[in-house]
A and B are shown apart, each in its own frame.
Chain A
Amino acid sequence: MTRHFLYPSTMFASQQPAEVTTILGSCVAVCLWDKYLGIGGINHYMLPTWNGMELASPKYGNIAIERLIERMMQLGCPKNNLVAKIFGGGEVISVSSSGMHIGERNIMVAEEMLSAKNIPIIGRSTGGNNGRKIIFNTHTGEVLQGYIKSNLSR
């Protein structure tokens, strides 16, 4: 099986089975999976919404989720087939200057956008004070998770 390490601000989706690993702190990863076709995709975003200034990259939740759904549909997955699992959004870094917790806002974006798109969240591990390492199997939709106590994660 192909193995892929997913860096922050990037996405991965594949028709071929792959094992995608990523490390999350306050970042959030949304895993989308087509339960009938066995195709999966995952993103890893750092901030909730695009600021309208930098490049419109999947560093931002609203862009990362939109793009991932598009990518899944390009790979031939009807939107009705998709289910989601969400991870991360821990408060590993202290409260942001904007007054609200980044991790919490990252989680909120995923919840709101997925519910607006009618994609059910069938599994989740979010919030808390620890980082996470997850391994997503794009074929089976399974996610393995371990907590990280160090400040390795972002």
Chain B
Amino acid sequence: MENQTSNISDDVLLTELSRRIERYKNAVDNLNSMNKQLLELNQKLAESEAMKSHFISNITNEIINPFASILGLSKNITECPDNDVERMKRMAAMINREAFNLDFQFKNIFAAAEIEAGAIQPIVSVVNIDELISSLMDQYTREIERKRLRRVITNLDSQKPLLFRTDGDKLTIVLSNLLCNAINFNRPDRKVEIQYGRNEAGELVVKVIDEGLGISMENQKIIYDRFRRLDNGINSINRGHGLGLSINKAYIDFLEGRLELESKENEGTTFTVTIPESQVESNDYSDEANEVFFGGEEIF
């Protein structure tokens, strides 16, 4: 009898021991994976620092150079002979182009600063999406023509024009970042397209489609990183400071939407933005729901 009990307790002991060893192994595994994550994070932080210094040198190019051109060109205009109107017009057009680029860069930099300061607020109204998208395309006419791209705008919705309640300014920045990329990374003589409409859930879906070189799986993971440009070389033909997509990520999060990317190398890239209609009534804070929430009131 005694033997049996001791046998049973041996078994119990063994089971318990192996259970503990298992648990210990799990803990070690967890620790190892945590350590791995930590190492990756350290690597990221070091990269981020390096990227930041890239950013500073990019900024210098992106801002100082256009300013220098604007200063030079405007000085030339003032010194231009009175009868040479054609030349003045040409120079004014160049100034306009440089200023347009600067405006785009500044908007992005201010957007990033606002996000990092935690100061974003929704400014919601009923937005005419048709108008927003066609005026956005119009702004890039020159860039589109320079690459001899075919521009296509398709409203897939039954409602024309499509009216949608959202933050129009943020949506504009998101889409202009995508459109700017779609033009920059496109190949000459191809197509740049924006398709939009509502999905079954009533959300706004906008697709920005290019026929560029596509983004490899490897690069798809890092394109939302701030300051990251896939092409960091000094001879890079692609302008930009690498903030665009990280701003888009934050803005789309803020609008409670999603950003999806579909890309095939050598065929092109499609970015799809999906955002729900805003429930924000206006910018004034409304407190009608208080009674529901404050059944049991507590004060801390």
Contact = CB atoms under 8 A, between A and B. Distances in A.
Interface of A: 3-5, 7-11, 21, 43, 51-59, 64, 67, 85, 98-99, 123-125, 133, 142-148
Contacts of A52: 41, 44-45, 47-48
Interface residues of B, number: 37
Interface stretch (B12-20, B118-126, B136-144, B205-213): B118-126
Contact of A55 (B115, B121, B222, B296): B115
B242 to A, nearest CB: 11
B67 interface: no
Given A54-B246, A57-B250, A144-B299, A11 B41 contact: no
B185 interface: no
- Of the listed residues B118, B122, B294, B297, the one surrounded by the most CB atoms of chain A closer than 10 A to its CB is B118
Nearest to B245: A54
A57 B117 CA distance: 7
A51 B30 contact: no
- Of the listed residues A3, A124, A145, A146, the one surrounded by the most CB atoms of chain B closer than 10 A to its CB is A146
A145 B298 contact: yes
B279 to A, nearest CB: 10
A43 B118 contact: yes
Interface in B196-231: 222, 224-226
Interface of B: 30, 33, 37, 41, 44-45, 47-48, 112, 115-122, 222, 224-226, 246-247, 249-250, 253-254, 285, 287, 293-300
B258 to A, nearest CB: 15
A47 B237 CA distance: 37
B118 A64 contact: yes
A85 B300 contact: yes
A143 B299 contact: yes
Given A9-B250, A53-B225, A146 B299 contact: no
A3 B287 contact: yes
Across the A-B interface, the 5 shortest Cβ-Cβ residue pairs? A52-B44, A58-B118, A146-B293, A11-B118, A123-B300
Contact of A142 (B48, B249, B299): B299
A71 B115 CA distance: 15
B30 A4 contact: no
Given A21-B285, A146-B294, A57 B299 contact: no
Nearest to B286: A5
Contacts of A98: 37
A36 B295 CA distance: 32
A7 B300 contact: no
B44 A53 contact: yes
Given A146-B293, A146-B295, A57 B224 contact: no
A54 B250 contact: yes
Contacts of A148: 293
A51 B41 contact: yes
Nearest to A85: B300
Given A4-B285, A142-B299, A144-B299, A133 B293 contact: yes
A33 B21 CA distance: 48
A59 B116 CA distance: 9
Given A123-B300, A125-B298, A57 B48 contact: no
A9 B300 contact: no
Given A145-B298, A148-B293, A56 B116 contact: yes
A55 B253 contact: no
Contacts of B115: 9, 55, 57
A109 B200 CA distance: 40
Contacts of A51: 41, 44
Nearest to A5: B285
12 contacts: A5-B285, A9-B115, A10-B121, A11-B118, A43-B118, A52-B47, A57-B116, A133-B293, A142-B300, A144-B297, A146-B293, A146-B296
Nearest to B222: A53
